[in-house]
A = this chain, B = another copy of it.
Amino acid sequence: MFRNDMPYVEVLSPEAIEIIEGGWRRLVREIGIEFMHDEALDLFRAAGQRVDGEVVYFDPDWVLEQVAKAPSEFHLRARDPQYDVTIGGRNMVFATVSGPPFFRVGDERRDGRLADYALMAKLAHSFPELDLVTMPVIEPDDVPLDSRHLDMLLTATRSTSKPVFGSALSTSNAEDSIEFARMLHAGLDLFVPGGDDDPRPTTSIMSIVNVNSPLRYDTRMLEALLAYAKAGQAVVVTPFLLMGAMSPVTVPAALTQQTAEVLTGIALMQLIRPGVPSVMGSFLSTIDMQSGSPSFGGPESAQGLYASGQLARRYHLPWRAGGGGLTSSQVVDAQAGYEGFNTLQAAFGAGANLVVQAAGWLESGLVSSPEKLVLDIEILRTLRRQFTPLEVDEGSLAFGAHQEVGHGGHFLGAAHTLERFRDCFYRPLLSSTENFERWTRNGARDAAVRAGEIWRSTIDTYDAPPLDPVVEERLSSFVERRRHALGD
């Protein structure tokens, strides 16, 4: 968990924010949002919103009244309390890549396996820059589909004691995930409301619910949203907007649509259980209009992130940036470097509270890659330092060093330097400053090759975090029982 105390990058003027405010209000009032789930429709109807078929036409002021019930910050439990995180405020929490079906190591690209899942979760456990393991870090094609969410939960839980995301593909998947969390945190209430000493509630598991943009929540996503909200567990409500496909082709239109979709989804959560942690999600990118392929890491994404942060703060919501280390690049090359850096720096500048896809994303999200994870860790380390405010005081001016060194000298041997040389500057993990001769002698390895060596040596020294055998036995039995019930 990182505390970002730098000034926010804000690209929307107060007038622009008012125009977007007017825009989402008009959208929810006049075009409405489709909710493909009877229980959701009944709830909205009972709360006085106009329902026609599956489309809900909202009173925007009512939406904001509901949204105001969501906590602006909350705690999420890890199985090891040292890894508990707090989402909201000035905090930034980073999660692994989520969703890829393919796995790439070096030149090999193939279907994902459960062993790859364990590998990625172990890496996430090993690097302090990562706080959360997503679901799925990689889609494991070698285990049965219906019970796969249980294999992933168990594998991730064995590999890391950091928090693990729950599944959101159906009521049953969501309930399995919640039950898993209940067993993992046995003896604790799954949801603890905020109190006098700490107004922030605590949840035990979190999941991402994607909106089926434009302006639609489908049945499965709503099943999950309802299950998590009823259990008091956190949901990241995320419109996944590739402008040109799921939204119009201008950033302001996408922001307007994103706001309409997120706020109505969060209003539903608050209607189900007032005070349940609800995260405003954003995921804005573009379609390459020549090929129809999605495109990541570009300028529209960065602008969308900065603006999304401003909007989230307007509604006092913790928010998730879609800007992880996103790239369309097929391999860990220069494009992966600059595109990944761009979306990650934008997430920092925008003051995101939760950054999903922060490490390991390649090939427009189709590929999960441990080399890319190492590259992204380097970028995260750089940005954490870059977004730590400078300490400027008399001592930092080092006047004494100038007295010692004088004109035209050098500071390598100055007392001020010798006192500070170990940690005065950022120390890279992956970047090389080797001179050409040394670099050549050491095998002329580029950043991708070095990243491969780094993750392998990280795995070589990895120690599994201890898991109480009683808890593990209980979780394993639960998974076996559910697998059987699901017919796998």
Q: Identify the A interface with B (CB < 8 A).
A: 6-7, 9-13, 15-16, 19-20, 23, 26-27, 31-34, 55, 109, 212, 214-216, 218, 243-253, 256-257, 286-295, 297-300, 302-303, 307, 328-342, 345, 349, 363-364, 366, 375, 378-379, 382-383, 385-386, 389-394, 396-399, 401-403, 405-412, 414, 416-417, 420-422, 424-428, 430-436, 439, 444, 446-448, 451
Contact = CB atoms under 8 A, between A and B. Distances in A.
B215 A420 contact: no
B416 A249 contact: yes
Contact of A390 (B303, B341, B399, B424): B303
Contacts of A410: 214, 245-246
Nearest to A285: B425
A233 to B, nearest CB: 27
A342 B345 contact: yes
B337 A392 contact: no
B402 A293 contact: no
A434 B293 CA distance: 7
Given A11-B389, A338-B378, A392-B12, A248 B402 contact: yes
Contact of A247 (B244, B336, B375, B411): B411
B424 A298 contact: no
A244 B421 contact: yes
Contact of A252 (B26, B298, B397): B397
A396 B252 contact: yes
A431 B328 contact: yes
B398 A253 contact: yes
What 5 A-B pairs have minimum CB-CB distances, sorted nearest first? A337-B337, A248-B398, A299-B386, A334-B337, A16-B392
Contacts of A401: 248, 253
A431 B16 contact: no
A393 B19 contact: yes
30 contacts: A9-B349, A12-B392, A27-B399, A33-B407, A214-B407, A215-B407, A243-B411, A246-B410, A246-B411, A248-B416, A249-B420, A251-B390, A251-B396, A253-B397, A253-B398, A256-B397, A289-B422, A291-B433, A299-B383, A299-B386, A328-B431, A329-B431, A330-B439, A330-B444, A333-B333, A334-B337, A334-B447, A334-B451, A338-B341, A338-B382
